[in-house]
Amino acid sequence: MKRREAVRSIALTTGGLLALPAWANRWRPGSAQTVAPFLGASQEEVLAEMVETLIPATEIPGAKTLGVHQFVQKMVADCYEPAVRETLKAGLNTTDAIAQEDFGRAFPTCTTDQRLAILQKLESSPDAARKDFYSLFKLLAIQGYTTSEYVMTNFYKYKMIPGHFYGCVPAPVANR
């Protein structure tokens, strides 16, 4: 590697590392909102209830409380191609249609056992589109939950900057 390339690489790396803490400290649940949501209100409600069914609230908050449905929507809007957005929309509509067909009510108004039955039906469906939708949904829901601020700070004990410096700790005196 030539010296100019090495200096340029070091400068870019250093700049990136200096900017990272400032960017990460501004990451809040409000910043996860999409500028133009691509899901309708009913689809977003179905998605919220799906994540809550997958990871329900117990003595710890569930996925809906932690805003995992917003994370799923933001990830699909920002990180996936438009075909995946359409897959998510179609899958949410299919989920609601299955609820109407099997139980005569919308997915958000179904009981927990009915919702679980619908999710199991999606997972074991022979239709590839349904399986793809369910796999995407489940992957993003688990990722959103396990990387949420609540889980990272309360279970993983994650610290943005590890190895905190305690400058006022008394030092022991050496015995001679």
Domain boundaries, the chain: 39-154
pLDDT of residue 136: 92
User: Is the model more confident about 31 or about 137?
Assistant: 137
Answer yes or no: is pLDDT of 49 > 90.
yes
pLDDT of residue 22: 54
Q: How confident is the model at residue 19 (pLDDT cuts 50, 70, 90)?
A: low
- Average pLDDT score over residue span 7-16: 71
Choose among 72, 73, 66: nearest CA to 150: 66
Which pLDDT tens digit goes with each residue over 101-153?
999 999 999 999 999 999 999 999 999 999 999 999 999 999 999 988 888 88
Average per-residue pLDDT in the chain?
83
pLDDT of residue 162: 65
pLDDT of residue 131: 92
Share of the chain above pLDDT 90, in %: 55
pTM > 0.75: yes or no: no
SS3 for the chain is CCHHHHHHHHHHHHHHHHHHHHHHHCCCHHHHCCCCCCCCHHHHHHHHHHHHHHCCCCCCCCCCCCCHHHHHHHHHHHHCCHHHHHHHHHHHHHHHHHHHHHHCCCHHHCCHHHHHHHHHHHHCCCCHHHHHHHHHHHHHHHHHHHCCHHHHHHCCCCCCCCCCCCCCCCCCCCCC
